Structure 1
């Protein structure tokens, strides 16, 4: 991937001006954002518009409309592909666009889709004019096997980008879900931030495919300057190949810097020592810290391990809610009405330390208000967990302790 980036002929936007503007309003936050930008190589830019989707069905409908407008290229990258209404509808549109001369490319994680999508399925896409490659193919045991592509990205013509927690599978639009109502979230952005997502895709594609993306395919769309008007956005991705675990660090800094509240969505809760300590310290000093978790587990062992963290967090003052209608796959957080982070990152060891992930930091944007309203609406359908709920006997505590040893593998 590093070699692919070095050989790509592109130039991202200059984010220094936005950092300077942010510094005038919140110097402490500007320092954290600049650190993210320096560590990842992606700039903060002005945001033209952002649209929030509180369920996968909303994003699916909007995505289909934008795909129908494609004129130059469609880039898609997902952890899970699975044949069904969602994927098949998207593929039908992509095939039609490919026949019209649109460059269509799909990348999927080979291990993430091992039970849902096969090489034969990928070859069928090729027959429809859609280029498709697996990320980090599961061919034999190697040291990078755990480093999976958990990112979710869809880019159309450099004009719009989609991301969030939603994969191209029917359970994400509440068809055939085995775990009650599937609560997931996503978003769409326009403006210069789309360039960041396009380059994320280009890096990975060029690293794993011999059919390189020509710069002149995307260059023209990148020459357009964003107008701004809806705050700022910094789309970036985490990489286990670099020294700093960017999202883990930024979540900790949000908790340390918060004055009023920090609220999280996450399907899994397996925290490293530094982030766990940040949750505890923020709650103890009076910050309103909340975590919304699933009410129905998709993986029982992982769910039990997640719950093993409840007692210490609740004792410190963290409020934990479980979504009674079903499974929460949403990932995101919001802080003090001014900052939100939305993307693919779970609060677990794999997301924070092992996987390739992507997120967007939003500042002073309308999407923050919409996101907050959705969290409150979801919380109204949750049950708050109490210390009484966390009681365990000796053997229960022993089992939880053993599970924590294996947390990096779960």
Structure 2
């Protein structure tokens, strides 16, 4: 009898610990309590090693906005804010709440002198990246969640090595989880050429440091501080259709010139300080004066579990509630938190055209089931869903009316909102929005609409899988 009481007390202690640590995230608490109930003790060990709140960890000094070196980085020279530019008062005219919210995002100035090029799919994006890398004179900063040792990976390996041998400073960051299959030979060849290479967190170190659940999902290329790239595309054959299961891979990236590149640079150097400890962060060589004359308005927003703001999630929410005519979303993973669900429902009920494109074929069955679990309640209020059938759609794009659009690394899911390090470019130029609109319409033509009456007739077995996946979805 005594041992039963002790086991019960142990279970209560474990459950109470999870509830106390995750009080800000009720959905995450429920998911971990479910695992604890199914796998007593083992579930708590899993929680301890991979899911504790990142901000509670002691070893996050390199990724803290309170860090003195970070303060130097965030006040880097030459950054030009729209607030100081002529015509800044007309920015988002008529959308004062959205404008004021965006202006108060920490370390994310709204910049007014930019050139933006939308890059559709990896073949175009890779060629643009390789062309700019080939022009590098001073430095190349290269950061990806996934880098593969395959034909595409070796093209970039060769390009980076060539520039390093020519005297260009090259720094590479890869995520230890996302690039777990990257060979030692690949990394060694870069290092032998004089390239500085660092993992964001090696999987084994991340496990024992209890940060396996937190990943650097950013994709950044900055060349000479003058041109930068950000979006959904990693480095690998699958992005050009090399995965036999997924086939054609549909994605979106943007190439930036001008003020906004300084913020891509700042984000990279923040990550670089974290992985390497290198302190030469505020040198003017990384923020050179540019000659861009185009006045495209861009805001680069980063987020991660180390910050006080869930900046990208809050930017998505602010944009959704500002919509008057349309909300068009493309995302490969759709596991929204309650605030995003409510914003989408409110918009649809008030007559806004809410249209969301998801993959028909997903790269994760459990995530796909979790995504489907949200469809019925949104279909009931008029949200339209389309399933992309030409291949796998991996683009992360949101278009709100004709006032703003965002392209970046963050999905509409709780992992991107609260667990990953992410980076998005928010754009307000009508020409850029129109360009993204054309891509969205093209993707609709390759998609089939989810009909509510048909969707509601799915089998009880499918519905059970969706409920279980949704219960666990905050962990994915």
Identify the TM-score tier after normalising by the shorter chain: over 0.9
Q: The residue matched to 1:203 in structure 2 has which SS?
A: helix
Residue 67 of structure 1 pairs with residue 148 of structure 2: no
Is contact 2:77-2:287 (8 Å) kept?
no
The question of whether the paired residues in 2 share the 8 Å contact of 1:200 and 1:237 is answered with yes
Shift of 1:211: 4.2
Alignment partner for residue 414 of structure 2, among 342, 346, 349?
349
Match among 86, 90, 95 for residue 156 of structure 2 = 90
1:226/1:336 CA distance change after superposition, 3 Å: farther
The counterpart of 1:148, out of the listed 190, 197, 215, is 215
State the match for 2:325 in structure 1. 260
- C-alpha change, 1:40 and 1:144, in structure 2 (3 Å) is farther
Pairing 1:4-403 to 2, within 5 Å after superposition = 4-6=69-71, 8=73, 10-11=76-77, 13-15=79-81, 17=83, 21-27=87-93, 29=95, 31-114=97-180, 116-138=181-203, 139=205, 140-213=207-280, 215-216=282-283, 219-220=284-285, 222-225=287-290, 227-387=292-452, 388-403=454-469
Q: From the CA coordinates, give the structure whose radius of gyration is larger.
A: 2
CA separation in 2, counterparts of 1:169 and 1:246? Answer: 29
| 1:253 Cα deviation from its structure 2 partner | 1.8
Secondary structure, aligned partner of 1:291: strand
Does the 8 Å CA contact 2:335/2:371 hold for their aligned counterparts?
yes
- Number of residue pairs aligned between Structure 1 and Structure 2: 407
Please tell me whether residue 405 in structure 1 is matched to residue 441 in structure 2: no
TM-score by length of 1: 0.93
**1:6-65 deviation digits (Å, cap 9, x = unpaired):** 354724624252688454353564543443453331211114311111111101111111
- Contact map agreement 2:101 2:318 (CA 8 A) in 1: no
Secondary structure class of the residue paired with 1:391: coil
- Give the deviation of 1:188 after TM superposition: 0.1
- Assess, with a 3 A threshold, how the Cα gap between structure 1 residues 377 and 265 changes in structure 2: closer, same or farther: same
Give 1:124 shift: 2.4
1:320 alignment partner, SS class:
strand
Aligned to 1:113, what secondary structure does the other structure show? coil
Indicate if the aligned counterparts of 1:179 and 1:296 stay in contact, CA closer than 8 A: yes
- Other-structure match for 2:43: none
Q: Is the Cα contact below 8 Å between 1:18 and 1:45 reproduced in 2?
A: no
TM-score by length of 2: 0.81
Tell me by how many angstroms 1:178 deviates. 2.4
Contact 2:331 2:358 survives alignment (8 Å): yes
Does the 8 Å CA contact 1:18/1:46 hold for their aligned counterparts?
Answer: no
In the other structure, the counterpart of 2:59 is: none
| Cα distance in 1, alignment partners of residues 154 and 99 from structure 2 | 38
Q: 2: distance between equivalents of 1:228 and 1:353?
A: 37
- SS of corresponding position for 1:145: coil
SS in 1 for 2:427: strand
Do the aligned residues in 1 keep the contact of 2:265 with 2:286 (CA within 8 Å)? no
Q: 1:123 to 1:83 in 2, by over 3 A?
A: same
Give the Cα–Cα distance (whole angstroms) in 1 for the partners of residues 91 and 268 of structure 2.
Answer: 32
CA–CA distance in structure 2, aligned partners of residues 291 and 169 of structure 1: 27
For the aligned residues, what is the CA RMSD? 2.1
Alpha-carbon spacing, 1:189–1:84, altered in 2? closer, same or farther (3 Å): same
Equivalent-residue separation in structure 1 for 2:434 and 2:139 (angstroms): 32
Q: CA deviation at 1:120?
A: 4.4
- Asked whether the equivalents of residues 91 and 99 of structure 2 are also in contact (C-alpha less than 8 Å), the reply is no
Residue 157 to residue 34, structure 1, CA distance change in 2 (3 Å): farther
Paired with 2:184 and 2:72, the residues of 1 have a C-alpha distance of 28
2:20 match: none
